Structure 1
Amino acid sequence: MEELIPLGYEAPDFSSRDQNGKNVILSTLIGKNILLSFHPLAWTSVCQAQVNTIDTHMRLFDKLNTIPFALSVDSYASKKAWSDALGIKKLQFLSDFWPHGSIARQYGVFREQDGISSRANILLNEKHEVIFTKIYGLEETPDLREIIFVLKDYTRTEIPNIEIEIQRCMKDALGRTVCIKDSRAKGIDATN
């Protein structure tokens, strides 16, 4: 794996198609905070939890002037089929398929040994400077609270506690979205 992009660096520009065929160019989004949420591969359960959780909180990202993207080395066609299967309409899935893993390489999260990206969140401010980075274990669902709290502090946006109750979301066998509220979002120790 290459070295993770350091905090304070200007984010490398890139162009990628989303699941609907729309070309996304990072440099055209100056003025918006950007969450680059890398996941190893589509069609896996931990990746599903990661993208469903982000998609469930899109209104909160809007309030925080932030556009989240879900990126992996999967092809555009695979991203399209997967987002359709999950029923995701708002979150944009970006394909880092060709040149293979080029975006992940630019940000230092490409895993040469596997040919996939690490599971990672990289947060850019409105000038597209890196303000948060974290690599997670491949079997670990990223904690979205970290991103929300960084953005809340960074943007100085007042968000009622009720709105920052982060939920972990998945699709059940019937295709319904099932979310579990994370009581730790309010600082409650769930172990008591």
Structure 2
Amino acid sequence: MNLITVGDYAPDFVLKDNRGDEIRLSDYKGQKVLLSWHPLAWTRVCAQQMKALEDNLAEFEKYNVVPLGLSIDSYPCKNAWAKELGIARVKLLADFWPHGEIAGKYGLFREQEGFSERANVLIDENGKVLWVNLYSIPELPDITEVFNQIKSL
């Protein structure tokens, strides 16, 4: 599947978060949403990426943006990881089964490795994609860059 691009409507989804709750993208209509994709839980750069969402939650809220962390890990794994990292408020979504299905719909699933790209996808209040940025797997997304994009739109 092709990478989602600016102007596309983001595919809706229902995924379990780290608490086992079902989260629908469409539930956030009226708010911007940042889908922050990371390859795998329990890895250093992914941990830093998700902690940056939690550490900057007040800033996201100031701009009416809901940050969500996504990977192909199961929700029990994401729950244990969130507790380990001290992530109490940001929802970490599990694109576990069917394995990587939502990452695939966004063009972010790496078939050969079986996990998603590292990427940020910013979606507007009506479900339209405003910004997409792919990162190399070892690269930590710059949270300042994310806020610069949010402020510029």
Partner of 1:122: 121
Structure 1 residue 70: Cα displacement: 0.4
**Cα distance in 2, alignment partners of residues 120 and 153 from structure 1:** 19
Matches within 5 A, 1:130-145: 130-145=129-144
Aligned-residue offset at 1:150: 1.5
Give the paired residue count: 153
Please tell me whether Structure 1 or Structure 2 has the larger radius of gyration of its CA atoms. Answer: 1
- Aligned-residue CA RMSD (Å): 0.8
Residue in 1 aligned with 2:91?
92
Query: Distance between the aligned counterparts of 1:151 and 1:142, measured in 2?
Result: 14
Cα distance in 2 for partners of 1:56, 1:17 equals 22
Give the structure-1-normalised TM-score: 0.78
Q: Which residue of 2 aligns with 1:75?
A: 74
Q: The residue matched to 1:67 in structure 2 has which SS?
A: strand
More relative contact order in 1 or in 2 (CA 8 Å, sep 6+)?
2
Once the two structures are superposed, what CA deviation does each residue of 1:32-51 show, in whole Å capped at 9, x if it has no partner? 10000000000000101100
State the shift of 1:119 in Å: 0.4
Q: Secondary structure at the match of 1:49?
A: helix
Task: Give 1:153 deviation, angstroms.
Answer: 2.2
Quick check: 1:24 aligned with 2:1?
no
Structure 2 spans left out of the alignment, 5+ residues: none
Counterpart check, 1:54 vs 2:53: yes
How far residue 139 of structure 1 moved from its aligned partner, in angstroms, is: 0.3
For 1:85 and 1:113, the matched residues in 2 are separated by 29
Normalising by structure 2, report the TM-score.
0.97
Q: Does 1:146 align with 2:138?
A: no
Deviation at 1:27, TM superposition (A): 1.0
Task: Could you tell me which runs of 5 or more consecutive residues in structure 1 were left unpaired when the two chains were aligned.
Answer: 155-192
Query: In the aligned structure 1, how far is the partner of 2:112 from the partner of 2:50?
Result: 24
Moved over 2 A (4+): none
